[in-house]
Amino acid sequence: ANPESSNTCSSTPSSTPACPPASPAQPCASPILARYSAYSVHDLMIGAVAFCIVGYLAVSLAFSFIFTYVGNTPGSFIGNTLWLACGGWMGMYYYFLGWLLCMTIVGIPLGRQLFKMGRLSMVPFGMHTSYGQMSPLQVIANILWSVLFGWELFLASLVSAVFLACTIVGIPFALQHLKLMRVCLAPFGLAVEKSK
């Protein structure tokens, strides 16, 4: 028997070699390390600074929204927080429609009324609604608004107010729907402001 034949891998033309060719051992690199190894320290520092700036702006805007709109008193803050959590965030729908109407230029007057509805629908606690001296054009606009689709929004707020008032604990929320009833039925000439 040939001693060298015992150290070689036998192979036939119709089959693959019994043992694969030897290859140098390569370390198994982590996918995460391999992904970030292409970035230099300078790039990572720029990314970290940009992340901090964006985070600071996001937090600042959040606190600004909270203290400006959600309420700067404990009662209005708690009430608006519960209101938003229970569906008040859907008031953004009015903002979306308002922006679409404003983009048409001719729909700017209608878009401004939807902005009032959106603000009062999202954070009604701590808000005050009052009518000023209305012009004849605003009176006509309120009549057309009420006849076309304002009465539907008015009835929706009325039903919600009655339902919440029947639960006793929902009376504070029912009072907010009374504010919504005014802006839903006749928004032209109505001012939506923070309570003094």
Q: What is the pLDDT of residues 159-173, one digit of tens each?
A: 999 999 999 888 999
Give the 3-state secondary structure of 123-164: CCCCEEEEECCCCHHHHHHHHHHHHHHHHHHHHHHHHHHHHH
The pTM assigned to this predicted structure is 0.58
Q: Quote the CA–CA distance of 119 and 192 in Å, as a whole number.
A: 8
For the chain, list residues with pLDDT below 50: 1, 3-12, 22, 29
Most distant CA pair in the chain, distance: 117
Q: What is the pLDDT of residues 142-163, one digit of tens each?
A: 999 999 888 998 999 899 999 9
CB 91 within 8 A of CB 121: yes
